[in-house]
């Protein structure tokens, strides 16, 4: 009976739901960690989509906000060390902050400063901070590379990825039992 219900729910997508049409990155995310994929994509559909589902614009908004979140997190340590609020962190400012921190944080701060000081002048400029933050955001969102391909789950090509289409994609990637 359950198989019949699943068939009836998925049948409208039968002509579209072909895993060969999904990118390898998307297939891998579904196959390797289906529960995590379902939880993440469900949250995206429900949170960034509307009543009809998630659009390509909703997906792009999510990815842009995720990159922004990572940039902010990446710049935070350096901004906390910008004691004179001039947009740059000098060695003197860094050492003043480091002296007040516990040993493990001191090491992370010193390393963060060294990594961000691209020109080696001892000061991390705002330009260097933002460049490193963009790089960190790119690396962090690369883990979710397949998410950029989520609109491939729009099997009926109506411009929306729905929960029903997500379930169909998950069912396609399940091993035959």
The dihedral of CA 145, 148, 154, 160: what is its sign? positive
Pair of tokens at residue 161: 């990825």
The dihedral of CA 8, 12, 18, 19: what is its sign? negative
Q: Is the pLDDT of residue 157 over 80?
A: yes
- Reduced 3-state DSSP string for the chain: CHHHHHHHHHHHHCCCCCHHHCCHHHHHHHHHCHHHHHHHHHHHHHHHCCCCCECHHHHHHHHHHHHHHHHHHHHHHHHHCCCCCCCCECHHHHHHHHHCCCHHHHHHHHHHHHHHCCCCCCCECHHHHHHHHHHHHHHHHHCCHHHHHHHHHCCCCCCCECHHHHHHHHHHHCCCC
Higher pLDDT, 176 or 92: 92
Angle at Cα 115 formed by Cα 108 and Cα 91, nearest 5°?
75
- Whole-number pLDDT of residue 49: 82
**75-107 pLDDT, tens digit each:** 987 888 899 999 999 999 988 888 888 877 888
Q: Enter the pTM of the model.
A: 0.67
Q: Which long-range contacts (CB under 8 A, 24 or more apart) does 151-155 make?
A: 151/56, 151/59, 152/21, 152/22, 152/23, 152/26, 153/22, 153/26, 153/41, 155/13, 155/16, 155/17
State the average pLDDT over residues 148-156.
Answer: 88
Q: Please provide the average confidence, as pLDDT, over all residues in the chain.
A: 82
The dihedral of CA 142, 56, 167, 48: what is its sign? positive
pLDDT category of residue 20 using cuts at 50, 70 and 90:
low
- Whole-number pLDDT of residue 9: 43
Partners of 141 in beta bridges: none
- Whole-number pLDDT of residue 159: 92
Q: Is the pLDDT of residue 122 over 90?
A: yes
């Amino acid at each position: 009976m359950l198989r019949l219900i699943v068939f009836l729910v998925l049948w409208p997508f039968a002509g579209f739901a072909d895993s060969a049409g999904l990118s390898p990155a998307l297939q891998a995310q579904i196959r390797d960690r289906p529960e995590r994929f379902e939880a993440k994509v469900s949250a995206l559909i429900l949170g960034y989509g509307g009543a009809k589902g998630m659009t390509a614009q909703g997906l792009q908004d999510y990815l842009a906000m995720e990159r922004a979140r990572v940039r902010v997190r990446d710049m935070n340590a350096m901004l906390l060390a910008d004691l004179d609020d001039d947009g740059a962190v000098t060695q003197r400012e860094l050492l003043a902050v480091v002296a007040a921190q516990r040993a493990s944080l001191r090491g992370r701060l010193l390393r963060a400063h060294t990594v961000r000081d691209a020109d080696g002048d001892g000061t991390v400029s705002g330009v260097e901070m933002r460049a490193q933050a963009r790089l960190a955001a790119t690396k962090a969102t690369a883990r979710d590379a397949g998410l950029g391909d989520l609109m491939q789950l729009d099997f009926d090509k109506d411009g929306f990825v729905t929960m029903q289409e997500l379930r169909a994609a998950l069912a396609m990637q399940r091993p035959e039992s």
